[in-house]
Structure 1
Amino acid sequence: MAGMLTLAALAADPDRFHLIDVRDAEDFVAAHLTGAVHIPLAELEDRAGELPAGRTPVTICGKGGGRSAEGADVLNRLGHPDALWLEGGTIGWLAQNT
């Protein structure tokens, strides 16, 4: 299973990470982390080639640990062993950073 990134670790070094919001379009439009790209979980496998080299991919969902953990596992399987999912997700990040 893929590893987890804490909210504090993301805040400490945000440029190290490539943020991927795996929720549906409606949820993404309603609220998302600044700089996050939207790749729905159902499209992640087909679009994994879009991830930039040199940055750790971090998948994000609403609360963290559901779709985001699944997305990080998909990326691990596709050759991104460093892929992580964000603890607390969008809701947790916005609660601490708005």
Structure 2
Amino acid sequence: MSYVADNWYWILAAAASGGMLLWQQVKSGGAGLSPTEAVLLINREKAQVIDVCEEAEFKAGHLVGAKNIPLSQLGSAKGLPGNKTTPLVVVCASGVRSAKAVSQLKALGYENAQSLQGGMAAWRAANLPIQKS
């Protein structure tokens, strides 16, 4: 008990640090790929990019080679790859809709679907290329 009393500030610092890490995960929509991890997956494993933004958002700027399938239309599976083992990088503006889309895709059998954590905002912050259409 003496250890806890003598080192309460270290215990508090560890708890606060863990709380901040947990908050970042909750705020960003959970686990997902960083922009760097997404680039590696696209380049090394030929992952397809699915953008679940609405059409106007997509036209304003998206990842190069991304296919636009709005979240509301994802259940129809039109435009999704026929091979359900194809790695998918799912993108939206902030990462919230893409995390929901990953859940839907996994229910459809696409087990290799992953969300871009932070969405297009994180992609832009990493100064990665954007295509406008």
TM-score of the pair, normalised by structure 1: 0.85
| Range moving further from structure 2, 71-80 or 88-97 | 88-97
| Range moving further from structure 2, 85-94 or 24-33 | 85-94
Q: Which runs of 5+ in 2 are unaligned?
A: 1-29
Query: How far does the alpha carbon of each residue in 1:58-78 deviate from its partner, in whole angstroms, 9 at most, with x for none?
Result: 2111011x1000000000011
Q: Paired residue for 1:37, among 47, 67, 72? A: 67
Task: Specify the alignment match of 2:6 in structure 1.
Answer: none
Q: Paired residue for 1:24, among 27, 31, 54? A: 54
Q: Identity percentage over the alignment?
A: 31
Q: Which runs of 5+ in 1 are unaligned?
A: none
Structure possessing the higher relative contact order (Cα contacts under 8 Å, 6 or more residues apart): 1
Based on CA coordinates, which of the two structures has the bigger radius of gyration? 2
| CA shift for structure 1 position 3 | 5.4
Moved over 6 A (4+): none
Task: Specify the alignment match of 2:34 in structure 1.
Answer: 6
* Structure with more strand by fraction: 1
1:11-90 superposed matches below 5 A: 11-15=39-43, 16=45, 17-47=47-77, 50-53=80-83, 55-64=86-95, 66-90=96-120
| Range moving further from structure 2, 53-62 or 21-30 | 53-62
Letter aligned with residue 94 of structure 2: K
